[in-house]
Every structure is written in C-alpha cells, then in structure tokens.
Chains A and B, each alone.
Chain A
C-alpha cells in the first residue's frame, strides 16, 4: 500500500465548475500538507501549504485537511481552462523536508 493515494483521473469539467481533488494517506505522523500544480513537462508549482488540520483559502483555492480521516482535499472554484494541469498532493513529517507525493490527478477544464 502506498503512503499517499491519489486518483490519477483524468477529471474533466466545464469552465466555471467547482473542482474537488482528494488524497488519502496512511502515515499518521504527517503534519504538513501541500498541493502542487504541474503543467506538462514543467516542475511542480506550490499552490497551498497547510499545517495540521483545518481549512486554508487563497483566492479560488481552498485546502482542507482532516487528520482524523487521513484525508485532504483541494477545491477550485470557478475553474478556468488555464487550471488544466496535474495536481499533486504532498505531505511530510515535522522536522523532515522529505516530501511524499501522490501520483497526481490530471484535471481538464473545457471552455
């Protein structure tokens, strides 16, 4: 079993839709949770960074962490074609910079 599970998609939505992306994990020691966006043949770009449980909002993006369920989510409101990319969740323990990634979910937003 992988430490971090993520549905690879693709997830296809029309422009303007609300998108929900999710990851589950098995390591209860994870304390830091990140979402990265990766365009084709580019490096990952950090979108959201959350410590422990709770919600965090940044513009059209909202990250949620439920440590009791070992479940994290990223919501994208008013999705745009430019949001079409692969979204990677990543996690790490306190005191270690090693990130453990999911496989990524490919998102396609059609005009």
Chain B
C-alpha cells in the first residue's frame, strides 16, 4: 500500500505566479482534504473533496481552489501567490467524508514563494 502520495515534494515560485499541487489518496480512500502548515504551526484545514465536489472549506481566500478526479486523486491550485503562502501543504485521505475513521497524511509539498 503506497499510502498518500504528493507531488512535487518541493517547489519555488515567484510572488504573483500560480501553482498546482497533486495528491493520490491511500488505496480504498475516496475523500481528500488539504491542509496548510506554516512553520512552527499546526496544519490548517483548507478544504475537503468527496465525489468530485468541495464539501467543506476552511478560512482560506478564493485564490485557493481544488479539484478531485474520478480516480479520487486531487489537485490544489493557488493563484496570485503571496509570500505568506509559503508553507508545507499536506494532503490527507479517508474512506468517506464524515466517517468514523482516521485521516492519513502524505509527506507534503513544501512551497516557497520568493
């Protein structure tokens, strides 16, 4: 079982650019959530996707958007990057949007905005 896989592992972008991060969920999981973890902080919930729809959203601006594909993989897009968007972006998967089960995290994508 490959677990949750994310790509790329690192990337550097310039302020104002756009970025796309990718996530493949753990086998058997159909729900994907995205989190942002700033240095020295706990992860903050961005949004959750289930059945190719955004089901829940945290307190993040519309510059953050996502997509889920029929194979349950997901993308996180961030437009008009700001320096403050520099963080570790984590993908978590679970079997169901509100099931009584735990979420498993990927290794994250470290985004640096310069």
| Residue ranges of A at the interface with B (Cβ–Cβ < 8 Å) | 4, 6, 8, 32, 34, 36, 41-46, 49, 51, 88, 90, 94-104
Contacts and interface: CB of A to CB of B under 8 A. Distances in A.
- Pick the most buried of B58, B98, B102, B107: most chain A CB atoms within 10 A of its CB: B102
A42 B102 CA distance: 18
Given A41-B110, A43-B108, A44-B90, A99 B103 contact: yes
B58 A98 contact: yes
A6 B31 CA distance: 28
B43 A99 contact: yes
Contact of A51 (B43, B92, B100, B104): B100
A43 B31 CA distance: 18
Interface string B90-114: 1010101111101111111010000
A41 B96 CA distance: 28
A88 B25 CA distance: 21
Contacts of A100: 45
B79 interface: no
Nearest to B44: A101
28 contacts: A41-B88, A43-B6, A43-B105, A43-B106, A44-B90, A44-B105, A45-B105, A46-B104, A46-B105, A51-B100, A88-B43, A94-B100, A95-B98, A96-B56, A96-B98, A97-B31, A97-B33, A97-B48, A97-B94, A97-B99, A98-B33, A98-B45, A99-B33, A99-B92, A101-B42, A101-B43, A101-B44, A103-B42
A44 B33 contact: no
Contacts of B99: 97
B41 interface: yes
Interface residues of B, number: 31
A43 B98 contact: no
Interface of B: 4, 6, 31, 33, 35, 40-45, 48, 56, 58, 88, 90, 92, 94, 96-100, 102-108, 110
A42 B107 CA distance: 5
Contacts of B35: 99
